[in-house]
Structure 1
């Protein structure tokens, strides 16, 4: 009986999308491209996924080498929904970056090569919450110095979700600076399945969601973050046509499983070049994400289902109008 009562409560509970004024019962999606600024391919993939496709939001890795190239484009296209992909790791073998706060200021974030640690576990093992916050603020400062006002904050490789202390600093900066933060604090139907979170963890996300809302920020109801694991057709066919069909079907199936509310769908888009495979072996899944975003089949499905696309900027504008 208790389980049944909880289920009914979850179904009837008002979503954050509804609180923001979106229609009841509607799926409202932020289709979001991570890792902008990491490479030329990442910049072009994100720009084209939005310009030619259904993606509508992105975030930038401020310590990376191709950030100026994207920010210069952003200044010419200020309507883009662009946030900060807060970066505390440098995971690739031959292409690496260091902290913007400076090695001497955040020694716990730096490995023996002078770059950030390759894994989340190493960051947890070596860095303090004070160092993490210092680097978050340094990345925000660089953005502002470049004339880039981020629409939101999120976390590269989920590092800021790795410990309660890191999470607290991430939330703190967002609330203090009045910048929306990527945090699923609603019904979390997809998150519960993907992350297998238990009741206590779900209760924590709802508590944080209320805290963010009460501070004047919009809150996600859910998060769809499985696309990086969609490696390509089982047949092994790596042609553009086969890869596009495979990824588009994956996105349509994922969206079918999303419940009504405000959900952020995460992906990584790159265009095809001979260079990117030397950066990362993830080129196939990233190229597939890009191809899916520009696929007319995906756009047609979204329109046919009456799915609403929104951005962090619009969500914040709506939240600002609510007392």
Structure 2
């Protein structure tokens, strides 16, 4: 096995709101990160898609969405005829547990296809698939079928996270390999999803966690998803995670982080690189 450490720095939630679009667009255009994942059901997706059309070199995957988690900022399915995928007001369920318990898996599939097709119609050339809040992790056969249908790799690690107690689906990894669907070797996280919540998050703690993550990268391909945004009044009205999102916007522009990536001989790659490898199989 090669000892090279390859890293995809992927910004999630592209299209969620204007503040997030500004942050992700800046990081992509200035080359601080390598990829982004777009939410096709969100109110600001047309702005994100316009940015991609104007910058066709940008690497964008589909963040398949079946949940709408914020209390006062909502979105729903593209397929309005999917009855089990809507709450009483027409929005997605607010959490993944409700999706698992109440939503017809075939409606998950139909909505996912609608989102991918809309992205393509809007001029996006998808480079990979993943699913927001793990809303399809209980129907991995459908996820893999979508990957096959569009010949796209999937964000799911071949190996379990070494520190976080996250269930790992060995059968998915095996079936993906049998179907020729490429997966990253590892998926790492910043403190945004840490089980240990700070009373008052700080930029220094985000930066230190990023440094530790980079130093601990293992050989192979690692994806590091994160959630950057500008700390505007818009974002503050949407989510109480606004401080962490601003810290995550700042951290990959930090000169110390940039120097560390070089010092550690980390090579940045994109999901397009992985997609091209898959399509060459």
**Whole-angstrom CA distance in 2 between matches of 1:177 and 1:232:** 38
The answer to whether the 8 Å contact 1:232/1:285 transfers is no
**Which residue pairs with 2:86 in the alignment?**
110
**Which residue pairs with 2:141 in the alignment?**
168
Cα deviation 1:66-95 (Å, max 9, x = unaligned) = 111011111110111101110000111111
The answer to whether the 8 Å contact 1:216/1:320 transfers is no
**Which residue pairs with 1:49 in the alignment?**
27
**Whole-angstrom CA distance in 2 between matches of 1:288 and 1:72:** 26
**Which residue pairs with 2:176 in the alignment?**
212
Higher helix proportion? 1
Is the aligned partner of 1:315 residue 2:274? yes
Q: TM-score, normalised by structure 1?
A: 0.81
**Whole-angstrom CA distance in 1 between matches of 2:144 and 2:178:** 13
**Which residue pairs with 1:302 in the alignment?**
261
**Whole-angstrom CA distance in 1 between matches of 2:152 and 2:253:** 29
**Whole-angstrom CA distance in 2 between matches of 1:233 and 1:248:** 15
Secondary structure in 2 aligned to 1:157? Answer: helix
Structure 2 stretches of 5 or more lacking a match? none
Is the aligned partner of 1:249 residue 2:217? no
By how many angstroms is 1:233 displaced? 10
Cα RMSD over matched residues? Answer: 2.1
The answer to whether the 8 Å contact 1:90/1:118 transfers is yes
Q: 1:1-323 alignment to 2 at 5 Å?
A: 14=1, 24-52=2-30, 54-102=32-80, 104=81, 106-161=82-137, 163=138, 166-185=139-158, 187-188=159-160, 191-197=161-167, 201=168, 204-205=169-170, 207-229=171-193, 236=200, 243=203, 245-322=204-281
By how many angstroms is 1:223 displaced? 0.7
By how many angstroms is 1:232 displaced? 11
The answer to whether the 8 Å contact 2:190/2:206 transfers is no
Cα distance change of structure 1 residues 306 and 127 upon mapping to structure 2, 3 Å threshold = same
**Whole-angstrom CA distance in 2 between matches of 1:128 and 1:266:** 28
Q: TM-score, normalised by structure 2?
A: 0.93
By how many angstroms is 1:275 displaced? 1.6
**Whole-angstrom CA distance in 1 between matches of 2:210 and 2:31:** 13
**Whole-angstrom CA distance in 1 between matches of 2:12 and 2:62:** 9
Aligned residues: 281
Cα distance change of structure 1 residues 233 and 153 upon mapping to structure 2, 3 Å threshold = closer
**Whole-angstrom CA distance in 1 between matches of 2:4 and 2:61:** 25
**Whole-angstrom CA distance in 2 between matches of 1:131 and 1:274:** 35
**Whole-angstrom CA distance in 1 between matches of 2:166 and 2:65:** 25
Structure 1 stretches of 5 or more lacking a match? 1-13, 15-23
Shifted more, 207-216 versus 225-234: the winner is 225-234
By how many angstroms is 1:214 displaced? 4.1
